[in-house]
């Protein structure tokens, strides 16, 4: 394989445009598995465009006036665990902590997680629950897209050939956010079901995203609106029934399948449990701080 090591966004997108069958390489923890298994063979006329030396993709910034954090696509999971980023995006840090092993966390990136777009990708429910936007570059220029609009199905995005994911912008939430997943064991595990919950106190908004229970990450608008209305945002408390109904609503929205990892029935059950647990944890933590 010919590898082009990009040093900036412009040279990366130019190379992708010049050699149209080229593929982007970030940490390689998904891409090299495809190559090693023979499912991907970059053609001799194409390049592997390595982006993990592009400073803009390797860095993050906090805009305190806008209350947002913008995270480069090639920032690794290990770096998401470092302070102060972990405090600005706590659900992302929580999700990053569950990804693979230290070796995978040292190489794997959020851009690669979205590039692969597995319904089980641990970063994706967090981006979805926070209504994150994605900046994409190509030779035509840059554009910003809601992450939910990019995820089309299992391993399918609306990215066009020549597109490079540059960064993700997420709100810094006044309230609480958390991530939880169930797998067949406690570490080095692909999620059987996962949830990210955001309780945005300032906007009085609930965001809940479900992973591994649909063709792609799912939001649950009806259950979110109902739970937001049932919440006392001043004291950050809710009746037990409201938490129960929230979990039931999430489980009903889930559209799981049976596969080698789990039955659909267990996945649906797990979504209800994870949603109720996150809601209880969020209200407990945010309620004590209120
Ligand atoms: C042992 C093992 C355990 C794992 N455990 C987990 C886990 O627990 N949770 C989880 O979510 N994932 C897991 N994974 C999958 C993988 O680590 C993640 O999906 C990771 O986020 C991929 O990032 P990467 O930088 O390595 O992507 P790469 O492998 O470099 O790329 C993946 C795909 O995204 C594209 N891409 C990468 N960057 C960009 C960009 N900037 N713009 C456009 N396209 C881009 C590539 O062309 C490729 O199609 C595991 C993988 C392994 C091998």
Tens digit of pLDDT for each residue in 252-289?
A: 999 999 999 999 999 999 999 999 999 999 999 988 88
**0.95 exceeded by the pTM?**
yes
Ligand 1 pocket: which of 57, 58, 111, 126 to mutate (most atoms within 8 A of CB): 111
Helix (H, G, I), strand (E, B) or coil at 183: coil
The runs of H, that is alpha helices, within the chain are: 9-18, 31-36, 55-58, 77-80, 85-88, 90-98, 102-107, 110-116, 123-129, 147-150, 221-230, 240-253, 264-289
pLDDT band for 187, please (50, 70, 90 cuts): confident
> What is the position in ligand 1's atom list of the atom closest to the CA of 99?
8
Q: What whole-number distance in Å separates Cα of residue 114 and Cα of residue 205?
A: 25
User: Which residues, judged by CB distance below 6 Å to any ligand atom, belong to the binding site of ligand 1?
Assistant: 23-31, 33, 51, 73, 99-100, 104, 107-109, 111-113, 115-116, 121-122, 164-165, 190
- Distance set, CA 267 to CA 138, 152, 270, 273 (Å): 38, 21, 5, 10
Q: Which CATH number fits domain 3-171: 3.10.20.340, 3.30.470.20, 3.30.465.10, 3.40.50.2020?
A: 3.30.465.10
Ligand 1 pocket: which of 71, 96, 112, 187 to mutate (most atoms within 8 A of CB): 112
Query: Phi and psi at residue 99, in whole multiples of 5°?
Result: -80, 125
Give the residue range(s) of CATH 3.30.390.50 domains in the chain. Answer: 175-289
- Which single residue is written with the structure tokens 């959020």? 110
Q: What whole-number distance in Å separates Cα of residue 208 and Cα of residue 280?
A: 14
User: Percentage of the chain with pLDDT > 70?
Assistant: 100
Q: What is the mean pLDDT of the chain?
A: 96
pLDDT at 189: 86
pLDDT one-digit tens code per residue, 43-99? 887 889 999 999 999 999 999 999 999 999 999 999 999 999 999 999 999 999 999
Half-sphere exposure of 147 toward its Cβ, with a 13 Å CA cutoff? 30
The highest-level CATH class for domain 175-289 is alpha beta
Q: Are 15 and 49 in contact (CB under 8 A)?
A: yes
pLDDT band for 105, please (50, 70, 90 cuts): very high
pLDDT at 255: 96
pLDDT at 44: 80
Tell me which residue has its CA closest to atom 12 in ligand 1.
Answer: 121
Residue 222 has pLDDT above 90, yes or no: yes
Find, among 126, 212, 115, the residue nearest to 164 by Cα. Answer: 115
Give the residue range(s) of CATH 3.30.465.10 domains in the chain. Answer: 3-171
CA of 115 to the centre of ligand 1 (A): 7
Residue 20 has pLDDT above 90, yes or no: no
Listed range (94-108, 180-194, 203-217, 270-284) with the worst mean pLDDT: 180-194
DSSP letter at 109 equals: B
Q: Are 121 and 99 in contact (CB under 8 A)?
A: no
Report helix, strand and coil shares of the chain as percent, to nearest 5: 40, 25, 35
Average pLDDT over residues 25-50: 91
């Amino acid at each position: 394989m010919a590898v082009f090591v990009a040093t900036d966004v412009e040279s990366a997108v130019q190379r992708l445009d010049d050699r149209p069958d080229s593929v982007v390489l970030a940490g390689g923890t998904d891409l090299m598995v495809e190559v090693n298994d023979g499912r991907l063979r970059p053609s001799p006329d194409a390049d592997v465009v390595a982006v993990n030396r592009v400073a803009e993709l390797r860095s993050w910034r906090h805009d305190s006036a806008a209350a947002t954090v913008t995270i480069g696509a090639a920032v690794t999971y290990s770096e998401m665990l470092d302070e102060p980023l972990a405090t600005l995006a706590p659900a992302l840090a929580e999700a990053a902590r569950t990804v693979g092993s230290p070796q995978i966390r040292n190489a794997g990136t959020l851009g690669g997680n979205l590039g692969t777009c597995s319904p089980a990708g641990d970063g994706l429910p967090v981006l979805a629950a926070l209504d994150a936007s994605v900046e994409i570059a190509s030779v035509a220029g840059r554009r910003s897209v809601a992450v939910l609009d990019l995820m089309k199905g299992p391993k399918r995005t609306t990215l066009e050939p020549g597109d490079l994911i540059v960064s993700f912008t997420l709100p810094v939430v006044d309230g609480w956010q958390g991530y939880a997943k169930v797998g067949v064991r406690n570490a080095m595990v692909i999620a059987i079901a996962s949830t990210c919950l955001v309780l945005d106190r300032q906007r009085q908004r609930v965001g809940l995203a479900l992973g591994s229970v649909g063709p792609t990450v799912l939001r649950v608008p009806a259950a979110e609106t109902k739970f937001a209305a049932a919440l006392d945002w001043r004291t950050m408390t809710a009746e037990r029934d409201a938490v129960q109904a929230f979990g039931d609503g999430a489980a009903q929205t889930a559209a799981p399948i049976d596969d080698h990892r789990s039955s659909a029935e267990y996945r649906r059950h797990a979504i209800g449990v994870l949603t109720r647990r996150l809601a209880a944890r969020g209200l407990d933590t945010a309620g004590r701080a209120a």
